[in-house]
Amino acid sequence: MPKGYWVSVYRIISDAEKLAAYNKLARLAVEAGGGRTFVRGGRVAPYDAGIAERTVLVEFDSFEQAVAARESAAYQEALVALSDAVERDFRIVEGID
């Protein structure tokens, strides 16, 4: 079964305090949903239309598990804490077997 991934690329971070509150709640939601974070911040070498801002990559055992974690009450609480603090591209993608 192919794995599922959360890929989040931040374009703008306008409120670091809200992002920090979100990070605490999101980490708990990801762990409860069976996710493993492989990339969180760190160095970026952007190409083409890429942006050298924060990038996050989380792996789940399946695409369905990744979607369920995103829709969970715990993650919804994290999104409330984040509110308008960032502009980001967040997507869930299915991996290759």
pLDDT tens for each residue of 42-89: 899 999 988 888 999 999 999 999 999 999 999 999 999 999 999 999
Mean pLDDT of 22-48: 95
Q: Decide if pLDDT at 97 tops 90.
A: no
Q: Residues 22, 79: contact at Cβ < 8 Å?
A: yes
pTM of the entire predicted model: 0.92
Residues sharing a CB contact under 8 Å with residue 24, sequence separation 6 or more, in sequence order: none
Helix (H, G, I), strand (E, B) or coil at 78: helix
